[in-house]
């Protein structure tokens, strides 16, 4: 779907800023559990699924890490920082921690929050657990009272752009020369979903994640991208036909 967004200046009566996610928030679903990232608990377990897969760090401002000790030190720095809440993602099928994601650019006063630092090991990619992990984060944000849930990525990262659109984020454009990352220019593609879209997105995720949506070989019957197409107000033009 490609649409034209109508500028909205409607009143927001009785606005109350939502809470900030903290290190006590655990998100649990059918296929995945997200635990606040803790170096002592998760570093060694998370390091292993990424060994030999350095390409998964290509679009992140850090990594790859040459040892579990180096990865541990990075997580310790994250723990001591402020403004970002990282989660370790456990895949219920394997019973292993296989990925990381975070809330960042958390602005309760504006009702805006972003999902980012998404790094799924090959074992987690293209699984129901991977989709559900991001659904759980989206659900927490909107049900806590946030009005806007953002996704931003390197404009060169076609996989991330495709994932954002599949999950129901609407395309909002590209910020040119937004940053310098690992010595290279980064143009940043912006996507977002808003609270008015959440009920329809929640329904789409519920249908897709239902075990009945998959056959005996694990193949989907209904495509999530097809269902979220009805909700998105604008699609990424670079993904046309994909």
Would 17 be classed as within a structural domain? no
Would 18 be classed as within a structural domain? no
User: Whole-prediction pTM value?
Assistant: 0.96
Render the burial of 143-166: b for 16+ CB within 10 Å, e for the rest. eeebbbbbbbbbbebeebbebbbb
Would 67 be classed as within a structural domain? yes
Would 141 be classed as within a structural domain? yes
Averages of pLDDT over runs of 10 residues in the chain (242 residues) are 69 94 94 98 97 97 96 95 95 98 98 98 98 98 98 98 98 98 97 98 98 96 96 95 60
pLDDT of residue 240: 84
Q: Please give the residue range of the domain that contains residue 87.
A: 27-239
pLDDT of residue 8: 84
Would 16 be classed as within a structural domain? no
pLDDT of residue 212: 97
Q: Which CATH number do you get for residue 155?
A: 3.40.630.30
- In the chain, at which residue ranges do the beta strands (DSSP E only) sit? 27-28, 32-36, 85-91, 96-107, 112-120, 148-154, 170-181, 184-194
Would 154 be classed as within a structural domain? yes
How far apart CA 110 and CA 106 sit, in angstroms, is 9
How many structural domains is the chain composed of?
1
pLDDT of residue 7: 83
Would 13 be classed as within a structural domain? no
Would 15 be classed as within a structural domain? no
């Amino acid at each position: 779907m490609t649409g034209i967004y109508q500028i909205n200046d409607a009143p927001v009566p009785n606005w109350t800023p939502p809470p900030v996610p903290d290190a006590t928030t655990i998100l649990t679903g059918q296929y995945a559990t997200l635990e606040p990232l803790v170096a002592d608990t998760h570093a060694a377990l998370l390091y292993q699924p990424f060994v030999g897969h350095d390409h998964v760090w290509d679009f992140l401002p850090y990594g790859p890490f040459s040892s579990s000790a180096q990865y541990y030190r990075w997580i310790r720095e994250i723990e001591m920082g402020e403004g970002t809440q990282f989660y370790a993602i456990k895949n219920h099928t394997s019973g292993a921690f296989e990925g990381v994601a975070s809330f960042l650019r958390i602005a309760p006063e504006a009702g805006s929050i972003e999902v980012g630092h998404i790094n799924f090991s090959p074992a987690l990619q293209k699984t129901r657990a991977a989709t559900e992990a991001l659904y759980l984060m989206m659900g927490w944000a909107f049900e806590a009272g946030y009005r806007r849930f953002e996704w931003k990525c390197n404009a060169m990262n076609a996989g991330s752009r495709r994932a954002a659109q599949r999950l129901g984020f609407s395309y909002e454009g590209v910020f040119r020369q937004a940053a310098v990352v690992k010595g290279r220019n980064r143009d940043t593609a912006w996507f977002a979903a808003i609270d008015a879209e959440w009920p329809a997105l929640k329904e789409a995720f519920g249908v897709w994640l239902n075990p009945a949506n998959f056959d005996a070989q694990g193949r989907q019957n209904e495509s999530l991208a097809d269902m979220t197409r009805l909700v998105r107000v604008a699609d990424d033009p670079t993904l046309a036909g994909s």
